[in-house]
Amino acid sequence: MTGLTVRAPAKVNLHLGVGAPRDDGFHPLVTVYQAVGLYDDLTAREADDWQVGATVSDWIDPAVVPLDGDNIVDRAADLLAAHHGIERSGELHIAKEIPVSGGMAGGSADAAAALVALDRLWGAGTSDEDLLALAARLGSDVPFALLGGTALGTGRGELVAPVADRGTWWWVVVPSAVGLSTPEVYRHFDKMFPDAPSAPVPADALLEAIASGDPWALADALHNDLEAPAIDLRPELGRLIETGEAAGALRGMVTGSGPTCVFLCGSADHARSLAAEMSGAGNAVVLAANGPVAGAHLVSYA
Ligand code: C5P
């Protein structure tokens, strides 16, 4: 084999309960992730040295893609190579479609795709358990990018358990031109909620809504504790959510730490018509995606 392409999805947090910071600075989470159909594709080819390049969808600013030698893909390769006692090698190319610094775990998707692709390219045969453990060391959302589907996340988000989800949920996704820093949003949460309880809000209502398969029930149950700090940092996000709901979204919300906003729709047709209306209302980039979809997976041999 000389090369292969692995595809990894973006995530939406259907429920994001955040507790007071732990001693290690991370926040305890109870979250429900859903993988949605926006993807980064990572192609890895055999090479003697190590190179990483990227191209982006036409609406993403290439200047915001960090390829400065300490990006998460380099770190994924280093961890996997060290795990097997080998030198990293390969020529990698990332085709980005997931908003950068958008709260949709685009960097985590690239890390998960790199783990899966390099494991195959190097014939390393890493067990699923070891791959998940390496993923957790790379970032809180990386294990979920491997798993995909709909999943309950606990710990700092890295402990993932699949949730049965027979629904197909439709989303309109509105990225912002300028990203938000995740640590900054968490710091702002601490400032706004100095008395946050150590135990995050549980996800029971959200899990019931998923089991019901009813988009209106899901709309009622969506919950994000990082929405208030994200809107406080970027008041225009509050106005965007109001506009989307006035245009007929069942519910709009900030996803993860933002600034991307997602709008739940009742059907594929509803998502298409809402996307058209929100584009017409002057939002430069409006996407539609459904979930749940698979985690990082091989799509072709290059
Ligand atoms: O785990 P990850 O590298 O994605 O986290 C990025 C940053 O987000 C952390 O350095 C931390 O500031 C914040 N974070 C947090 N609590 C979490 C996850 C992330 O405070 N559960």
Q: Do the Cβ atoms of 200 and 159 come closer than 8 Å?
A: no
Ligand 1, atom nearest to 21 Cα? 20
Among 11, 40, 96, 110, the one annotated catalytic: 11
DSSP E strand boundaries for the chain: 3-18, 29-45, 50-56, 90-96, 150-154, 159-162, 169-174, 223-224, 251-254, 261-265, 287-291, 297-301
Report the distance separating Cα 84 and Cα 98, nearest Å: 30
Per-residue pLDDT tens over the stretch 213-246? 999 999 999 999 999 999 999 999 999 999 999 9
**Nearest residue CA, atom 7 of ligand 1?**
183
Q: How far is the CA of 18 from the centre of ligand 1 (A)?
A: 11
How confident is residue 9, by pLDDT bands cut at 50, 70 and 90?
A: very high
Q: How far is the CA of 111 from the centre of ligand 1 (A)?
A: 15
Q: Is the pLDDT of residue 268 over 90?
A: yes
Query: To test the ligand 1 pocket, which listed residue (156, 191, 198, 225) has its Cβ within 8 A of the most ligand atoms?
Result: 156
Q: How far is the CA of 186 from the centre of ligand 1 (A)?
A: 8
11 is an active site residue:
yes
Share of the chain above pLDDT 90, in %: 94
Which pair of structure tokens corresponds to residue 198? 């150590």
Helical axes 72-84 vs 128-138, angle rounded to 10°? 140
* SS3 sequence of 142-187: HHHHHHECEEEEECCCCEEEECCCCCCEEEEEECCCCCCCHHHHHH
Q: Do the Cβ atoms of 8 and 109 come closer than 8 Å?
A: yes
Q: Do the Cβ atoms of 57 and 106 come closer than 8 Å?
A: no
Q: What is the model's pLDDT at position 61? A: 86
Q: Is the pLDDT of residue 66 over 80?
A: no
Burial of 45 (0-12, 13-18, 19+ CB in 10 A): middle
How confident is residue 69, by pLDDT bands cut at 50, 70 and 90?
A: low
How confident is residue 65, by pLDDT bands cut at 50, 70 and 90?
A: confident
Report the distance separating Cα 292 and Cα 35, nearest Å: 5
Ligand 1, atom nearest to 107 Cα? 4
Q: Is the pLDDT of residue 1 over 90?
A: no
Q: What is the model's pLDDT at position 68? A: 67
Report the distance separating Cα 6 and Cα 8, nearest Å: 7
The dihedral built from the CA positions of residue 257, 7, 35 and 75, taken in this order, carries a sign that is negative
Q: How far is the CA of 182 from the centre of ligand 1 (A)?
A: 7
Report the distance separating Cα 78 and Cα 72, nearest Å: 10
Q: What is the model's pLDDT at position 142? A: 98
Ligand 1 residue neighbourhood (C-beta within 6 Å): 26-27, 29, 139-141, 156-157, 182-183, 186
Per-residue pLDDT tens over the stretch 170-197? 999 999 999 999 999 999 999 999 999 9
Residue 144 burial (CB count, 10 A):
32
**Nearest residue CA, atom 3 of ligand 1?**
139
Per-residue pLDDT tens over the stretch 107-143? 999 999 999 999 999 999 999 999 999 999 999 999 9
141 is an active site residue:
yes
The label of the residue with tokens 């225009």 reads 236
Among 74, 110, 141, 165, the one annotated catalytic: 141
- The mean pLDDT value for 26-47 works out to 98
Q: How far is the CA of 89 from the centre of ligand 1 (A)?
A: 29
